[in-house]
Amino acid sequence: MTPSADKPPGGPVKQGVQGSAVPQSAARVPAQQRPAARTGESARERDGAVPAAARGEHTHGERPVPAPRAAVQRSSVRGQILDALRTALVTGDLRPGEVYSAPVLGERFGVSATPVREAMQQLAQEGAVEVVPNRGFRVVRRGARELAELAEVRALIEVPVMLRLARTVPGERWAELRPLAEETVRAAATGCAATYAECDRAFHRALLGLAGNEQLVRIAEDLHRRSQWPPVRQSRAELVADASEHMALLDALAACDIEVVRGLVAEHFAGAG
């Protein structure tokens, strides 16, 4: 308790909860003889001038609310840094082959090195960076062959699922995905690779989600992320063409046109490679 919180001797008389006067002697009790103040407790609360229920203390018949844990806030910061690093990877601000240290990146984002290091470790698990002992993290290099292999694996997983969904999912369910497909078109029109990459993943995630297999969605998205790092340079026109395939695919799926679906997804993944 700070000295400024104590009323000097001879000061005005305090008022009790019911308006009754509190003897001035109570205000003159030496600080060392008073009960220890709880965190965030004012002198008025400690001396009983505020009812327990009014100051948020536990009363009979009422369960105490658990205090939020500090880890929640740190996790939030880590998540924000992870998103920022993913964007930097897609835009090319973090260049393939370069090594970046957590302290330097922390200064760049205005945070400590800890959330940056945790986010980088997550990116290492996703295959975007690799750990360089005593130095930091190196952004991975992927050649045309590796990108083509990722596209092939994605096609092996996603194409059969899409063909099965085309036969089993009612047409109105495909209409629910149209806003996501339209969002990819708008993102492509901006020419921003990072924005388009995020919208593209959201569309594919929602489409595959109709299969009801969470493991499938998780694996497919991991492959999708890997195929986007480092980014393949595409013009605005190429991004728009890629996004327009989403709209055409939805139309074919709603019409249950299996051959058109097969051709569109084959072309889509060929372009991804």
Q: What's the pLDDT tens digit per position in 148-188?
A: 899 999 999 999 999 999 999 998 899 999 999 999 999 99
Whether residue 108 has pLDDT greater than 80: yes
Query: Is residue 38 scored above 50 in pLDDT?
Result: no
Question: Regarding predicted confidence, which is higher, 129 or 16?
Answer: 129
Q: 131 — phi, psi (to 5°)? A: -75, 130
Assign 99 to helix, strand or coil: strand
**270: confidence class by pLDDT, cuts 50, 70, 90:** confident
CB-based contacts of 203: which residues, under 8 Å, 6+ apart? 177, 180, 181, 183, 184, 246
CATH number of 144-272: 1.20.120.530
- pLDDT at position 55: 40
Q: Is residue 65 over pLDDT 80?
A: no
The rounded distance, in Å, linking the Cα atoms of 141 and 230 is 7
Cα dihedral sign, 233-238-243-248: negative
- Is 204:221 a contact under the CB 8 Å cutoff? yes
> Which residue type is seen at 135?
R
- Mean confidence (pLDDT) of the chain: 77
Q: What pLDDT is recorded for position 63? A: 44
The Cα-based distances of 55 to 38, 51, 59, 122 in angstroms read: 12, 6, 11, 42
Residue range(s) in the chain whose domain bears CATH number 1.20.120.530: 144-272
Asked if 212 contacts 273 with a C-beta cutoff of 8 angstroms, the reply is: no
Average the pLDDT over 55-63 and give the result.
42
pLDDT category at 127 given cuts 50, 70, 90 is confident
- What span, in angstroms and rounded, lies between the C-alpha atoms of 208 and 220? 9
List every span in the chain annotated with CATH 1.10.10.10.
71-139
For residue 207, give every residue at least 6 positions away whose Cβ sits within 8 Å of its Cβ, in sequence order, or none: 162, 165, 177
Report the pLDDT value the prediction gives residue 70, as an integer from 0 to 100.
37
- The class (CATH top level) of 71-139 is mainly alpha
DSSP 114-168: HHHHHHHHHHHHTTSEEEETTTEEEEPP--HHHHHHHHHHHHHHHHHHHHHHHHH
Q: For position 139, what pLDDT does the model report?
A: 93
pLDDT of residue 6: 42
Asked whether residue 61 carries a pLDDT value surpassing 60, the answer given is: no
For 91-107, what is each residue's pLDDT tens digit? 888 999 999 999 999 99
